[in-house]
Amino acid sequence: MTPRPITITGGRLVLPMGEPRPGAIRLVDGRIAALGDIAPEHDDIVIKAAGALITPGLVDLGVFAIDKPAFHFGGITRAALMPDQGPPLDHPARVRFAALSGKPDMWIHPLAAATRGLEGSELAELALMREAGARAVATGRRWIGNSGVMARLLSYCAMLDLVVVTHAEDAGMTGNAVATAGEMATRLGLPSAPAQAEALAVARDIALAELTGAHVHFRQVTTAAALDLVRAAKTRGIRVTAGVSPAHFMLSDLELADFRTFSRMSPPLRQDADRRAVIDAIADGTIDVITSGHDPRGPEDKRLPFVDAEPGMAGAETLLPLTLTLVRDGRIDLARAFDLLAANPARLLKVDAGVLAIGAQADIAIIDPARPWVVNSGKMAASAGNTPFDRRPVEGRVTALFKGGTQIG
């Protein structure tokens, strides 16, 4: 049975350019059929947005767990799943299973493991995994230290037209570090590595991207030095893009005081100058994607000494409101915010979503950008509430969500 068309009226459309525009949007057969100054047709289901924002559903590029309740709460309709699973996504059958696991109300786009077992030595069956549904290739939580392996990977992915999502930390420099070298790490006595470990990794991978013509996406770029390298590479026309998570533009390594393990990240939180550099890079276009890095961790992983705790945070539910802080602060506008949260990640994954455009997939969110709420780690929809933003008041809440033209919940 074909679902009835839906027309959402009385909202403010967040389009790729300019300020939100008053209007309506019509969803037919899973696609956007019309938008703007339109009226519902006979037999349409009519939903009144009452002045709220009508936006694309968020596309979260690089999550570590399939966590539908958290994704739906946060307005995420598509998520690119990192290959760091048990077992890793290094086989076509595993990729195919992951690609089907969220449907119909959530689409998971698996990222194929770059190497077998994510061990960084032998290339995995990338072409077969692409056929099985992999939308890109990823090195996982680790950087590939062998430059020969990385060059072969990039050459092969350039031929397959697959983006390579890489972790940017030189493992030879980071070792067992859990913090960024500096005053805070010294005061706490934590194993640390210099921030330049990120710039070294970024510099090498930019050089190899230029050599091979491949598209490299740095999943998280968190230091001023590395961002300068990305900025310069883009100016030279090298195919590089960069992402970051809200933790790295909202927080600095001062959060490590009292050994708060919810602030244990990978890459680790940086000094405040780097945090400010990330915001500047978001504002000037150097950073292309804001991702949640959603990685729910239970007490068995977090209620440990800081050095032993696992890195990561449950980020899906706070991705939208934390990004909206940049809008309220005047650093970006709403159109740019949804480029970062939806359009750009959709483009990297080559899916026809992430924008309000006729013919695009009808993945739509209705958002009250001023609705206040308080982050509560004990009441999160995520499978675990490990967030450094616990008890923080935020603004911006999804009030309705549509996947493929069907309302969720």
Instruction: Specify the amino acid at residue 208.
Output: L
Q: What is the pLDDT of residues 91-130, one digit of tens each?
A: 999 999 999 988 889 999 999 999 999 999 999 999 999 9
Report d(CA 95, CA 162) in Å as an integer. Answer: 15
Q: Across the chain, which distance is largest between two alpha carbons, in Å? A: 68
Is residue 248 helix, strand or coil?
helix
User: Is it the case that residue 312 has pLDDT exceeding 90?
Assistant: no
Q: What is the pLDDT of residues 331-372, one digit of tens each?
A: 999 999 999 999 999 999 999 999 999 999 999 999 999 999
Question: In sequence order, what DSSP letters do the residues of 307-332 get, joined into one string?
Answer: TTSPP-B--TTTHHHHHHHHHHTTSS
Tokens linked to 64: 């570590």
Q: What is the pLDDT of residues 9-48, one digit of tens each?
A: 999 999 999 999 999 999 999 999 999 999 999 899 999 9
Q: What DSSP designation does 255 have?
A: G
Least reliable range by pLDDT among 32-36, 135-139, 294-298, 318-322: 294-298
Query: What pLDDT does residue 360 have?
Result: 95
Percent of the chain clearing pLDDT 70 (strictly above): 100
Q: What's the whole-number mean pLDDT along residues 274-297? A: 96
Rounded to the nearest integer, the mean pLDDT of the chain is 94
Q: What is the pLDDT of residues 8-18, one digit of tens each?
A: 999 999 999 99
Report d(CA 102, CA 109) in Å as an integer. Answer: 9
57-355+372-393: CATH number: 3.20.20.140
